[in-house]
Amino acid sequence: MDSAATNAWKIFDEVKPDMKPKEVMEEANRCLFCFDAPCMKACPTHIDVPLFIKKITTGNMKGSARIIMEANPVAATCARVCPTEELCEGACVLNDASLPIMIGDLQRHTMNWAMKNNPQLFEAGEQNGKRVAVIGAGPAGLSSARELARYGYQVTVFEKQAEAGGLDTYGIVPFRLPKHVALWEVEQIKKLGVSIQTNTEVGKDVSIQAVLDGFDAVILAIGMAHVPPLGIPGEELDGVFDAIQLIERVKSGHVTDRFSGKKAVVIGAGNTAIDAATCLKRLGAARVQIVYRRSEKEMTAYPFEYRFAKEEGIEFRWQTQPKRIEGDENGNVTSVVCAPIMLGEKDASGRRRPIEIDNAPFPMNTDVVVKAIGQMRDVPLIEAFDLAHDHGVVAVDPLTYQTSNPKVYAAGDVIFGNGKGEAMVVAAAEQGKKTAQAIHEQLLSKI
């Protein structure tokens, strides 16, 4: 039998095939070219969808790519990971009349062309002498850097990882988003003269004071951190993993045999849980179960992710609360003991409150437990900047993205939370753009 490692090139290929050329033309020609199109409004970055599609039909691929990337600097990524059925495609006027245009796939087609042909789409603006530091080279940071460079700012991006791209490079499974896609987007931004300093952690490799003093404005786009502890016994056993770290390792090309033939339990039912579960399956796990304390209705994974997981053979155990992880004498995981849950009244989040059914715990035999119950915040860094925050969610002015320190702006997942906004790549990209605009407006008077 082939090992997972030798098959890596295949198992981690993009799941969804590119559209075939004829498919592209048929689909692009089906677009009605709506006026004041709802798809454009539904896109958080407001890509002029009818126009980029029209350009596909006329063979103007460079123009098509420019329209897309003008609005969204990480559009190749978004074409792959956006919940399009809830955004552009969900708004398509053809939903009721026939079938919505496959906008995401068409965007991917154009972006594939751009990645292959590498046209010069944008140029840096004339230098205005101002310097901006961006902390974090994820979608929000990259998007703001690209816009600022076009305005003429000298932009330095600090990234603690070895490669830029943030979540796009490290946090989304390769069979949905190959790493080279995110890195191509990074390259486009570098081409505008943006300096991206990787392996550079602000607060450690470069001091916060140096950043605050050395730049005219600072954008905090540090995203989120690792999965928090479950807070149950047995979490330290060998075989317990953090979903984010697991995906990060796979994304970095670290393919291991250790899950081959194993049973795995993933705790949580968000998009990261599904990414981790499908990843384990591809790494050879014999059985992967997702346990979630609420029901199918409350899960936060997108419908298309959920569909994909089921297609991949992932099992779902709803209304199941892990109580403790048990191991053998060698410290290896053997089971998760769970309690069944019933759902009560709606809580503050609008979801029904899980209530544990007493005295009914049951064991689920497993070799692997993966935690995917959300992400922590880098509170120490936020506090080192002395920024107002709520449990690690940085407070910003909704219009200017300014934090409690007027020189420091924040965008992306670091300001997502507490029911505000959506943790999507596309939302981060838009926030990056808007932050750049806000900085430009603030500093314009000083240029």
Partner 1 sequence: MADLHIDFAGIKSKNPFWLASGPPTNTGYQVQRAFDAGWGGAVWKTLGDPVINVTSRFSGLNYGGQRVAGFNNIELITDRPLEVNLREIRETKRAYPDHAIIASLMVEPKQEKWHEIVKRVEDVGVDGLELNFGCPHGMAERGMGSASGQVPELVEKQTYWTKEAAETPVIVKLTPNITDITATAYAAAQGGADAISMINTINSLMGVDLDTWNTIPNVAGKGTHGGYCGPAVKPIALSMVAECATQPDIPVPISGIGGIENWQDAAEFMLMGASSVQVCTAAMHHGFRIVEDMIDGLNNYLDEKGLASVSDLVGRSVSKYKKWGDLDLNHKVVARINQDYCIHCNKCHIACEDAAHQCIEFYTESDGTRALKVREQDCVGCNLCSIVCPAEGAIDMIDQPSDVSMTWNERQRLISTFGG
Which residues form the interface with partner 1 (CB under 8 A)?
25-26, 28-29, 32-38, 57, 93-94, 96-97
CA pair distance 443, 125, nearest whole angstrom? 15
To the nearest whole angstrom, how small is the minimum distance from the Cβ of residue 22 to partner 1?
9
In the complex with partner 1, which residue's Cβ is closer, 41 or 420? 41
To the nearest whole angstrom, how small is the minimum distance from the Cβ of residue 33 to partner 1?
7
CA pair distance 83, 399, nearest whole angstrom? 25
Residue 51, SS3 per DSSP? helix
In the complex with partner 1, which residue's Cβ is closer, 60 or 252? 60
In the complex with partner 1, which residue's Cβ is closer, 98 or 359? 98
To the nearest whole angstrom, how small is the minimum distance from the Cβ of residue 32 to partner 1?
5
In the complex with partner 1, which residue's Cβ is closer, 100 or 171? 100
In the complex with partner 1, which residue's Cβ is closer, 27 or 163? 27
In the complex with partner 1, which residue's Cβ is closer, 32 or 444? 32
CA pair distance 267, 373, nearest whole angstrom? 6
Q: How many CA atoms lie within 13 A of 268 on its CB side?
A: 25
Taking a C-beta distance cutoff of 8 angstroms, is the pair 247, 273 a contact?
no
To the nearest whole angstrom, how small is the minimum distance from the Cβ of residue 335 to partner 1?
53
CA pair distance 412, 427, nearest whole angstrom? 7
To the nearest whole angstrom, how small is the minimum distance from the Cβ of residue 59 to partner 1?
9
In the complex with partner 1, which residue's Cβ is closer, 34 or 232? 34
> Among 110, 31, 44, which residue's Cα sits nearest to residue 83?
44
Who contacts 253 (Cβ-Cβ below 8 Å, separation ≥6)? 8
- Chain length of the chain: 447
Work out the angle between the directed axes of helices 49-57 and 21-30 (0-180°, nearest 10). 130
To the nearest whole angstrom, how small is the minimum distance from the Cβ of residue 20 to partner 1?
13
Tokens coding 223 = 């995203």
Who contacts 348 (Cβ-Cβ below 8 Å, separation ≥6)? none
| Residue at 126: amino acid letter | E
To the nearest whole angstrom, how small is the minimum distance from the Cβ of residue 424 to partner 1?
25
To the nearest whole angstrom, how small is the minimum distance from the Cβ of residue 362 to partner 1?
49
Tokens coding 15 = 């799941």
To the nearest whole angstrom, how small is the minimum distance from the Cβ of residue 50 to partner 1?
9
3-class SS letters over 275-343: HHHHHHHHCCCCEEEEECCCCHHHCCCCHHHHHHHHHCCCEEECCEEEEEEEECCCCEEEEEEEEEEEE
To the nearest whole angstrom, how small is the minimum distance from the Cβ of residue 379 to partner 1?
40
DSSP strands (E only) in 221-269: 240-242, 263-267
Burial environment of residue 391 by CB neighbours within 10 A (0 to 12, 13 to 18, 19 or more): exposed
Q: How many CA atoms lie within 13 A of 315 on its CB side?
A: 11
